[in-house]
Amino acid sequence: MALYMAQFAYTADAWAALTKHPENRTAAVQALAQKLGCRLEALYYSFGEYDGFVILEAPDETTVTAFILAALAPGHIRATRTTPLMRPDQVVEALKKAGTATFKGPAK
């Protein structure tokens, strides 16, 4: 299965609701992931453009997209960004494969 990082940004209303009724969202996110065939590896909050991110293991892009769409449905998330992740051994294999090919750049 592949790993994905899905960043999210809450709406102002979501932050207001969480401030009024603080809760740890890990169990809810984990349940959604399991229902859709993903595995939640981590949930972290952050500062900046995005308010947090999840690391998910999913069998394919369709499954991780379903997770994102389901998470967006309640309307409490205003933005997302999903990035496929690669383990170091996968990058080494890609480097080896790339090393077997030649590619000529544009003429100068």
Supply the CATH number for residue 14's domain.
Answer: 3.30.70.920
- pLDDT of 60 > 90? The answer is yes
CA distance readout (Å), 55 to 31, 68, 88, 100, 105: 14, 12, 16, 32, 36
Please state the pTM of the whole predicted model: 0.87
Residue pair 24/34 in contact by the 8 Å Cβ criterion = no
Residue pair 93/40 in contact by the 8 Å Cβ criterion = no
- pLDDT of 107 > 90? The answer is no
Domain assignment of residue 54, yes or no: yes
Domain count, the chain: 1
Domain assignment of residue 76, yes or no: yes
- pLDDT of 22 > 90? The answer is yes
Domain assignment of residue 106, yes or no: no
